[in-house]
Amino acid sequence: MSSPKPSTIRVGKRYRANRLEGPYDAIVIGSGIGGLTAAACLSKLGKKVVVLEQHYTAGGFTHSYDRNGYEWDVGVHYIGDMGAKHTMARRLFDYVTDDQLEWAAMAPVYDRLFIGDRQIDLVAGPKAFADNLKQQFPGEEQAIDTYLDYLGQVAKAMPGVTLGKVLPNLLASPFRHLARRKAPPFLNKPTQEVLETLTSNQELIAALTGQWGDNGMVPTESSFIIHALIARHYLHGGYYPIGGASEMAKTIIPVIQQSGGEVFTYADVKEILVENGKAVGVRMADGQDILAPAVISNAGVFNTFESLLPASAPHQDFYKMKLAQVKRSMASVCLYIGIQDSAENLQLPKTNFWIYPGTDHASQVDSFLKAPDKHDIPLTYISFPSAKDPSFAERYPGRATIEIVAPGPFEWYQDWAEKPWGKRGDDYEAMKEAYAQRLLGKLYEKMPHLRGKVDYYELSTPLSTDYFCRYSTGEIYGLDHNPERFEQDWLKPKTRIPGLYLTGQDIMTCGVVGAMIGGLLTTVAVGGMRSLPLAKKMFVG
């Protein structure tokens, strides 16, 4: 396949030094959803914030792109907890968008699992979810009820875990009772270990962990914290932003601008400026210095402490030691597919497909990574965005899109890492094409009527993730969500360097809402006592 043309969906204002209108109260490096959330929340507190994004469009993993007459999202496949305005996730979205972002519900069966020859549906609504599983796994009723109870216990413990990241800065806080809630003993145990205390039925465990791709760790390795948060997040079904994923940044940016702030694209930050032991601003690729009393990095902890902070910055030895205690998350490939017909005519579902060759997720991944040509793909995720978005048919009449995500380690593609995007050569394209055909085969197995109808497809690799989002090994979820990660007390907004803060998925959890909560926590850390009403509104309601 020839090199694709550049995208046409651009959100944000193109950076030029003469377009800066400082002084600014805060600088945010990176326009992922965590950075945008922090900037919008600070703007609501009257802070003038500038967001600097090196990509041509804002949004990070929430951006969309348009190519060859089709539009795809790159990281937003579905969001939970959007059906009722009282949920924290919905309150936070409504707050940072001034209620301008609208949502469409997916089908009642939001996730369909194919485990070997068996199909298992995950149905929206806690009772419907449980009743459906009980019908499919007779004799496991108690295990299923206990499982849902465990999800609830984790949910009750999380406000304390979350606020513990900022409470030392909020003396006499009215939220301290939340931090004192006793965590259940299974909270940070490996997911598989916890579930095996409930049941010995490996098929049921495989079904309960059938969304493990949403955090990138097989259940033998992931913390039950992240498993429970994701599973509970979708218990009431999945939702999709009307107008596509790019609507997130489009509706947040005006809120950032309300206090004089701005979101710049093509804004490449090269270094965090440190003077007298304090972060005081950033230096851009064009040599321009931008100063502010607060510098917020949404670039991830590895980029922040290994690339952006100068070697002479204080506490570098401390952070170098801490980085050795966390790991970069999984990398993946994504096949973007376009068809010249409507989602309705093609009978594309508002349901995600998760395809597994069998019940042992961990061994299947291990075998595939060691010998990908000899083993089945261990996880194939298929999403139908043009069916989920009711505005798609109007915006792209007679068009439909599909996305397929699967494991794709950076090591497979690292020989081409130094070559420019779009010009990596025939060998690279041939390797991509071989994987693309395998993924198309997975699609045709489940939807044979689509065979012969695909008009356009292209495969992104971890090199694309590095090029567009600056995650050097293609890690889509930041840090691994293993038990060790949740024991790192330094993964919080306030760093040891005065004036420097972290935000996004690395300080809390992966996922859109996880990163947004990271943005909220950073706002609390920067805003101090002035942010308490916001914290109360979001965490208490």
CATH number, position 255: 3.50.50.60
Contact 455/483 with Cβ under 8 angstroms? no
Task: Say whether both 263 and 297 belong to one domain.
Answer: yes
Examine residue 498 and say whether the peptide bond preceding it is cis (omega within 30 degrees of 0): no
Task: Say whether both 217 and 260 belong to one domain.
Answer: no
Task: Say whether both 147 and 219 belong to one domain.
Answer: yes
CA atoms of 537 and 515, how far apart (whole Å): 18
Task: Say whether both 214 and 140 belong to one domain.
Answer: yes
151 is a domain residue: yes
Q: Fill in the amino acid letter for 290.
A: I
| Count of domains for the chain | 2
Contact 508/490 with Cβ under 8 angstroms? no
Residue 252, classed as helix, strand or coil, is: helix
494 is a domain residue: yes
498 is a domain residue: yes
Q: Which residue, of 209, 231, 253, is where some domain finishes?
A: 231
Task: Say whether both 287 and 211 belong to one domain.
Answer: no
448 is a domain residue: no
Residue 109, classed as helix, strand or coil, is: strand
At residue 135, the pLDDT reads: 98
CA atoms of 265 and 111, how far apart (whole Å): 35
Task: Say whether both 279 and 319 belong to one domain.
Answer: yes
Bridge partners of 405? 334, 381
For the chain, percent helix, then strand, then coil, each to nearest 5?
Answer: 40, 20, 40
At residue 10, the pLDDT reads: 75
Q: Which residue, of 196, 231, 266, is where some domain finishes?
A: 231
Task: Say whether both 142 and 198 belong to one domain.
Answer: yes
Quote the DSSP letter at residue 307. Answer: I
Number of other residues whose CB lies within 10 A of the CB of residue 317: 8
Bridge partners of 79? 239
Task: Say whether both 250 and 285 belong to one domain.
Answer: yes
Contact 501/526 with Cβ under 8 angstroms? yes
Q: Which domain holds residue 512?
A: 13-67+243-325+488-539
268 is a domain residue: yes
424 is a domain residue: no
130 is a domain residue: yes
At residue 172, the pLDDT reads: 41
Q: Which residue, of 176, 201, 231, is where some domain finishes?
A: 231
Residue 472, classed as helix, strand or coil, is: coil
Number of other residues whose CB lies within 10 A of the CB of residue 107: 18
120: region left, alpha or beta (phi > 0 left; psi from -120 to 50 alpha):
beta
The sign of the dihedral angle between the CA atoms of 512, 472, 384, 55 is positive
Task: Say whether both 58 and 143 belong to one domain.
Answer: no
Contact 100/258 with Cβ under 8 angstroms? no
512 is a domain residue: yes
Q: Which residues of the chain fall short of a pLDDT of 50? A: 1-7, 171-172, 175-176, 179
Task: Say whether both 43 and 134 belong to one domain.
Answer: no
Token pair of 360 as six digits:
């042992």
Number of C-alpha atoms within 13 angstroms, CB side, residue 237?
19
